[in-house]
Structure 1
């Protein structure tokens, strides 16, 4: 360590709460801690120059579950469990909107549409037959029927003639959301240190000794909010899942508007700034995509390219402008892990690809636990 007295005194002494991860969960946790304990000294450690993981790398879906996802979940979860999952996503989005305001996150409610490939006749039939049951199940959350049939008026190719649409789903600007959260937290007096990697910690004493790639210090409470990277720090049921994404250059007179799911949710796309953003394909190679390393693979990128060409934009010229990936945290169940691991150690991880929907709620629950 080569820290001056001033550096140590200002940033690393008398820390009440240290949060690992400056994604949507970590920032919300810091914000609600600052409201609950206005005199507390709160520190966030972030290993990237920008928030890593998925918070700044996702597709910007404010979604609660496509029809096929709900049908699938009902095969492995009770109706009450599925109801609680959807309710937590709904409440999380409302909390995010109330915290930041719709204009700061560019909240646009154009509906969420699930498309069904021509060959997925049985899946479409099963979802269609379940429509009334699922609408009734989720009416306590939405107050009215959420799902309905929608004609293929965007002229997608190689799909069934109808979508099944959720009227409440929306889209946001992920970058604007995270920038607003960062400003909110900094204005609350929280310190954020970037390019700092937690290497180990010891919570066996009255406080927690924290070791990083740059320095060591002590904190009264340590909160792990690293989601997809949590397996490197904790022995919990959470593992990384990489999601690959691309975006086109602007497309003249683009009419497509809304958020879309395809192939049981393994692919997803939306409009943004006269472009199409498309991601997914993890189901092509689950083993390779179970990684915390960023990057793309030819297998998945080729499939995304062909999907754009053959299904989404079959009669439109387009060019790809950018490709990237994000790291989600998944496990054997879709319920996030929010719990106290010891007197001074708490975690909020395994968001299951629903970070935008439940991240604010998980962050607030962490603050309440602390």
Structure 2
């Protein structure tokens, strides 16, 4: 492809900041850079038609971790680390709401619930026994108890009669959120080019040469916000994690409202109006789901359908309308990576499946590194 003089002049000349990835992190990075450097030229490169990873493909949970997830994290992270991580997720959610407004993102504070299957009594007892302790360590942040036991009032099947409720959780409209962020970026004179893949880059101290498929240009600073696609960049610090999702056709008289977690967060579902969105299952086959390839597998889809028809809506005839997948970025630590890779190259990645919560904060931190 040969670019014209006009294309080179307007899009690829005197570029101050180039951001790779137009998801939650990338757009927040651009918006924060615009606040700090009002006269700068900011370019965002996106390899997909729409944001490619998980930003437009997630379930729309405004959450910061179910009680079983928090207990699991305490086994591999210090108590201080876990509290800091929850604080970052909570702060990130407030930042997102402040930037876009609750009406725009269709913020619905229905609360969140954790279910426990009857054949997983150990998990229920562990969460029950540690409920008071978890509430105590989170009280300084939330100024109230976060988790409480409630009797199941939704008519779920094959589960313990008690759910654990969290009033601080909510749901949002992922599509509205991303559309509003893209709109703000364009209004702030941030240039966005889709279907552009960065094939290599060279930091020359005075700037970075960025190579696309058939063109290269120079930018003063290069910032990567590619999350699940950042494995090579971070030398293995980020692993991709595919999340498979399905959504039902409308269900008459659906009486389920809220966000719901199952099995340490490996399964999750919610209502979207009178439909059920359900996702997860990568723990059934970690090796296959550690991939940057989109798609579905029979083992995961069958498990999701079983949960839908036996647990969530037992004895109901439910039709599935659509299936998709997204790519998250995870690692040995749940802490995000926000770092300077060389003189003029930076990255903000590894959101640990909590992009809605933490993405706005990581984008802001990434811009503030520059």
Whether 1:37 and 2:37 are equivalent positions in the alignment is yes
Q: Distance in 2 between matches of 1:29 and 1:369?
A: 10
Please state how far the C-alpha of 1:318 moved relative to its aligned partner.
1.3
- Matched with 2:77 is 77
Distance in 1 (CA, whole Å) between partners of 2:273 and 2:106 is: 12
Alignment of 1:226-237 (within 5 A): 226-237=226-237
Mean Cα displacement is larger for which, 314-323 or 293-302? 314-323
CA offset digits 1:248-307 (Å, max 9, x no partner): 011111000000001121100000021000000000000000000000001100111111
Aligned: 1:224 with 2:190: no
Provide, for residues 321-360 of structure 1, a one-character-per-residue CA deviation record: whole Å limited to 9, x for no partner.
Answer: 0000000000000000001111100000000000000000
In structure 1, list runs of 5 or more residues that go unmatched: none
Contact preservation (8 Å) 1:269, 1:278? yes
2:88 alignment counterpart:
88
Deviations 1:142-176 (A, max 9, x none): 11101001111001001000101111011000000
**What's the CA shift string for 1:177-196, capped at 9, x where partnerless?**
00000000110000000000
* Aligned positions of 1:232-311 closer than 5 A: 232-311=232-311
Secondary structure of 1:102 counterpart = coil
2:325 aligned with 1:349? no
SS at match of 2:359: helix
| Cα 1:62–1:104 shift into 2, 3 Å | same
Residues 174-185 of structure 1 mapped to structure 2, 5 A cutoff: 174-185=174-185
Deviation at 1:77, TM superposition (A): 1.5
Q: Deviations over 1:65-95 (max 9, x none)?
A: 1010111111111111111011000000000
CA–CA separation in structure 2 for the residues paired with 1:305 and 1:205: 53
Question: Which segment drifts farther, 205-214 or 323-332?
Answer: 205-214
Contact 2:44/2:193 (<8 A) preserved: yes
Mapped to 2, the partners of 1:67 and 1:74 lie a distance apart of 11
CA distance, structure 2, for counterparts of residue 192 and residue 214 of structure 1: 18
- Cα offset, 1:320, TM superposition: 0.4
CA distance in 2, matches of 1:276, 1:319: 10
| CA distance in 2 between partners of 1:74 and 1:130 (Å) | 11
Residue 303 of structure 1 aligns to a residue in which SS? helix
What is aligned with 1:155? 155
8 Å Cα contact 2:205/2:344 also seen in 1: no
SS in 1 for 2:119: coil
Q: Flag structure 2 segments of 5+ consecutive residues without an equivalent.
A: none
Q: Give 1:231 shift.
A: 1.4
Distance in structure 1 (CA, Å) of the matches to 2:234 and 2:146:
38
Following TM superposition, by how much is the alpha carbon of 1:234 offset from its aligned partner in structure 2, in angstroms? 4.0
Q: How many angstroms apart in 2 are the aligned matches of 1:205 and 1:244?
A: 41
- What is the aligned partner in structure 2 of residue 8 from structure 1? 8
1:115 match? 115
Contact 2:68/2:263 (8 A) holds in 1: no
The DSSP-based 3-state class of the residue aligned with 1:99 is helix
**Aligned counterparts of 2:259 and 2:84: Cα–Cα separation in 1:** 23
Q: Helix, strand or coil for the counterpart of 2:103? A: helix
Alpha carbons 1:330, 1:353 under 8 Å: kept: yes
SS in 2 for 1:198: coil
Whole-Å separation in 2 of the counterparts to 1:186 and 1:139: 40
Please tell me whether the aligned partners of residues 196 and 214 of structure 1 are also in contact (alpha carbons under 8 angstroms).
no
> C-alpha distance in 1, partners of 2:140/2:338?
24
SS for the counterpart of 2:123 is: helix
2:172 alignment partner in structure 1: 172
Provide the rounded CA distance (Å) in 1 between the counterparts of 2:202 and 2:221: 11
Alignment check: 8 A CA contact 2:205 2:343 kept = no
Deviation at 1:236, TM superposition (A): 4.5
CA-based RMSD: 0.8
Task: Kindly indicate whether the alpha-carbon contact (under 8 Å) linking 2:110 and 2:257 is maintained by their aligned counterparts in 1.
Answer: yes
Counterpart secondary structure, 1:119: helix
CA shift, 1:232, in A, is 4.1
Report the TM-score when normalising by structure 1: 0.99
Alignment-derived partner of residue 363 in structure 1: 363
